Chains A and B, each alone.
Chain A
Amino acid sequence: MKIAIASGKGGTGKSTLAINVAYLLTRNKISVCLKDCDVEEPNCHIFIREGRSNIEKAEVAIPKIDNNLCVNCNKCVDLCAYNALAKVPGKVLVFSDLCHSCGGCTMICPVGAITEISKEIGLIKNKRTQKLQLITGELKIGEAKSPPLIKKVKAYPVNSKLQIIDCPPGTACPAVSAIKDTDHVWLVTEPTPFGLHDLDLIVKVVRKLGISHSIIINKSGYNDNIIETYAQQEAIPIITRIPMDLKIIQTYSAGGLIIDIFPEYTSYFEPLINFVKEKIH
């Protein structure tokens, strides 16, 4: 089972929640793998100081043209749906940042002038401690597209049947790639006009994807009614609330785990643990 932790707005507390929930699950003897799919700014690893990461390069295939073999038939250029190829006198130009690695050009070339080479798009870091396994995607600086790396992180084989996917904020391709094919989405929001506005956007995305979802109000306590009214109107359950609390803020600011430093606060996360237990049993 895969549970995505998403939000339209950035900074609502997705990673903080993800890491605390993941640790609490293992403490409840539920094996879980946390996958950090916020590949442009992966942060979950900062909470886990122990252990060492096994680092692999993440690569995609791009075409390499042998212009001496090319017979100028133009089939590859005509086929490419992403406009990543152009035929100019004497050669075919490859614009690799537009390539979607479909392999079509290599297949259609009648003379075998196109081969595939690897292009590094980032790193996948596999960190396993006694308590938790964390898979992190880290996009290479300057790389235009994050979804290919997000897909690789999601497909990375792990032993745990339960996976928590920490998603990037937003509502476009990166967020959709991370949320897609999960079984449930926890939508983290904050009770502000900004939180509400972007919650509504991400709700539209998960509805379009047809995935069940529930709301987590983080920084709760001052203006919750704006989220409550919305949740009622849209018939979306609010699964739990994490209070706006100085102790939580201080713990987060120091890169600490809330459930470690203030065990009494685990009660705020209990509904999430119970949700998982119900789903997997």
Chain B
Amino acid sequence: MKIAISSEGKDLDSNVDARFGRTPFFVIVDINSNDFYAIENSKNFNAAQGAGIQSAQNIVNQGVAVVITGNCGPKAYKVLSESNIKIACAAGITVKTAIEHYKNGMLELMGTANVAGHW
């Protein structure tokens, strides 16, 4: 099973980025094999609008089951939830810790967008 984490950097020691749509990177981790890779999100980082939607689209295309991020707006939430991707909430910890916390059931799952949309 693959998990995508919004991240300030490209590896497991990077901090989780609280932003979903405008995070600089997503670290994608296979929690069965512990293999990971990073995808750049720079195009959406600088998008005039719809960064959350497009970031969510990229995550959908990666075939992940879970996203770990700080904040998720209504449009990104819609794309992820329509794709049956779970969203877990984390901030201020490393990617590695976030995954451990997720595995141990310590991260809260978002049942709705936790921040307002904006244009």
Answer yes or no: do A and B interact.
yes
> What residues of chain A have their CB less than 8 Å away from a CB belonging to chain B?
77, 82-84, 86-89, 91, 93, 95, 97-98, 144-145
Contact yes or no, B82 A89, CB < 8 A = yes
Contact yes or no, B51 A86, CB < 8 A = no
Contact yes or no, B82 A88, CB < 8 A = yes
- Which residue of chain B has its CB nearest to the CB of A90? B82
Contact yes or no, B82 A98, CB < 8 A = no
Contact yes or no, A89 B83, CB < 8 A = yes
- List 11 interface pairs A-B (beta carbons < 8 Å), by A numbering: A84-B53, A86-B54, A86-B57, A87-B57, A88-B60, A88-B83, A89-B83, A93-B79, A95-B50, A95-B75, A98-B53
CB distance from B80 to the nearest CB of A (A): 9
Most A CB atoms within 10 A — which of B50, B54, B60, B119? B50
- A-side contacts of B1, CB under 8 Å: none
- Which residue of chain A has its CB nearest to the CB of B57? A86
CB distance from A238 to the nearest CB of B (A): 37
Contact yes or no, B78 A89, CB < 8 A = no
- B-side contacts of A89, CB under 8 Å: 82-84
Contact yes or no, A83 B53, CB < 8 A = yes
> What residues of chain B have their CB less than 8 Å away from a CB belonging to chain A?
47-51, 53-54, 56-57, 60, 75, 78-79, 82-84, 119
CB distance from B105 to the nearest CB of A (A): 26
Closest 10 CB pairs of A and B: A83-B50, A88-B82, A88-B83, A86-B79, A83-B54, A83-B53, A86-B57, A98-B50, A86-B53, A144-B119
Give complex CA distance A111, B10 in Å: 39
Give complex CA distance A95, B52 in Å: 12
Beyond the given pairs A84-B50, A89-B84, A98-B49, 10 more chain A to chain B contacts, judged by CB atoms under 8 angstroms and listed by A's residue number, are A82-B48, A82-B50, A86-B53, A86-B54, A86-B56, A88-B79, A93-B78, A95-B75, A98-B53, A145-B119
Identify which of B48, B51, B79, B119 contacts A97 (C-beta below 8 A): B119
Give complex CA distance A83, B58 in Å: 12
- Which residue of chain B has its CB nearest to the CB of A97? B119
Give complex CA distance A86, B54 in Å: 7
- Which residue of chain A has its CB nearest to the CB of B52? A83
CB distance from B73 to the nearest CB of A (A): 11
Identify which of A82, A86, A88, A93 contacts B49 (C-beta below 8 A): A82
Give complex CA distance A144, B75 in Å: 14
Given known pairs A77-B57, A97-B119, A144-B119, the reply for A83 and B49 (CB within 8 Å) is yes
- A-side contacts of B79, CB under 8 Å: 86, 88, 93
Give complex CA distance A144, B50 in Å: 13
Give complex CA distance A89, B75 in Å: 16
